[in-house]
Structure 1
Amino acid sequence: MIETITFALFAAVTVGCALGVVLVKDPWHAALLLGGALSSLAVHYVMLQATFPATMQILVYVGGVLVLITFAVMLTRTEQPKSEVYS
């Protein structure tokens, strides 16, 4: 019973974060939601008692790919021009 509730909870988190990645406009928020989706997917691996894929999911995808996405977002983000007020 507890496994079913845990699975349903993390399935909802995974689907919600994945939808958020697609729907949000800010790339920084999309990267954070991607981290949430990938982390909750690792929980599914743990529930299947597949600890090696869960560990690799956290180390490679959440740790590595998300850091690369974060650097890409930080390096490509441009400052919005401030509107000048003329009096």
Structure 2
Amino acid sequence: MTWELFVFLFLAASALASALLVIRAREIVHSVIALATCFIAIACMFVMLSAEFVAIIQILVYVGAVVVVILFGIMLTRRGIMESEKR
């Protein structure tokens, strides 16, 4: 087994495990972190396929934008829920 196959299998397993964690996690923040991990593993697979531009776009758009927007949405909605519970 070559190192490329080993790295690919590791990335595929980590992408699958983190995708399952996105579905199974009870906390939404844990799901977002697992989603970012899945996107990074997929970007690493693109690098292995010599598609560096697609990998950079994957990281910039999905990890950089989508995950950050979801985290900001979580932070803003939780603040409103926490303040209404205190009253």
TM-score normalised according to structure 2 size:
0.89
Q: Radius of gyration: which is bigger?
A: 1
Percent sequence identity over matched residues?
40
SS at match of 1:58: helix
Q: Deviations over 1:12-52 (max 9, x none)?
A: 10000000000001111100000000000000000000011
Residue of structure 1 in register with 2:67 after alignment: 66
Distance in 2 separating the partners of 1:8 and 1:20 = 18
Determine if the alignment matches structure 1 residue 7 to structure 2 residue 8: yes
Structure 1: gaps (5+ residues): 83-87
What residue number does 1:34 align with?
A: 35
Tell me how many residue pairs correspond in the alignment: 82
CA RMSD of aligned residues (A): 1.5
CA-to-aligned-CA distance 1:48-72 (integer Å, 9 cap, x gap)? 0001100000011000111100001
Alignment-mate amino acid for residue 70 of structure 1: L
Stretches of 4+ moved more than 6 A in 1?
A: none
Unmatched 5+ stretches in structure 2:
none
More helix by share: 2
